Amino acid sequence: MTRVIFALSLLLGCVLCNCEAQSREADDLRMADNAIVKRLALHGTSPYMCTEQPEACISADGIEHGTALISARNTPASLRELARLHRFSLDGGYAETYGQLLCEKSRSIEKYVLALDPDDLRKQCVREVEAAMKSSPLLKQAKVDYVCASVKNIRSNIDETLRMVKNPPQSCEP
């Protein structure tokens, strides 16, 4: 009887730990996504934001940290969220970093990229930016089109990612 109770308590503990880990991952993904949205929105308010209001730019870069946090795990939730970052208009070093992360995930992310709907991604991004604009006075002047990729660009980026996944360049090695 004691062994049965011990086994059940051990099993229950494992289930609870797994739930806690999934909850932690969901919190991490939400936080990372929020950091990316707000940082892109901040960049889109004014080219002089950091000189006009230096406190807006003293924190670490939310885009880099957000993408790193999202890509740190190879779980379905993290891979799905990494694929969904196609909704953002990333350029320069951010686009390069994102492309490298997708390249490193290669085949493991393919099914999540295939499941993307460009129209839904655009709508989600617009909702997120509008919510960010309401949440902070610094973001009131954010430009949705600066943060969110157009449906056409999302579709093009998805196609490019799928080509890269099917024929990964040698530079993809992590």
Q: What are the phi and psi torsion angles at 148 (to 5°)? A: -100, 135
Read off the pTM: 0.79
Residue 135 exposed, middle or buried by CB count within 10 Å (0-12, 13-18, 19+): middle
d(CA 169, CA 174): 12
Tallying the residues shown for the chain, one arrives at 174
Which 3 state secondary structure label does DSSP give 100? helix
* pLDDT at 157 (0 to 100): 96
109 band by pLDDT with thresholds 50, 70 and 90: very high
pLDDT tens-digit profile of 24-76? Answer: 888 888 888 888 888 888 776 666 666 666 655 655 577 888 898 899 999 99
d(CA 142, CA 42): 6
Q: To which residue do tokens 């609870």 refer?
A: 16
Kindly give, in sequence order, each residue whose CB lies less than 8 Å from that of residue 52, ignoring residues fewer than 6 positions away: 46
- Using CA atoms, how far residue 86 sits from 15, 129, 149, in Å, is 33, 15, 8
Q: What is the mean pLDDT of the chain?
A: 81
d(CA 161, CA 111): 11
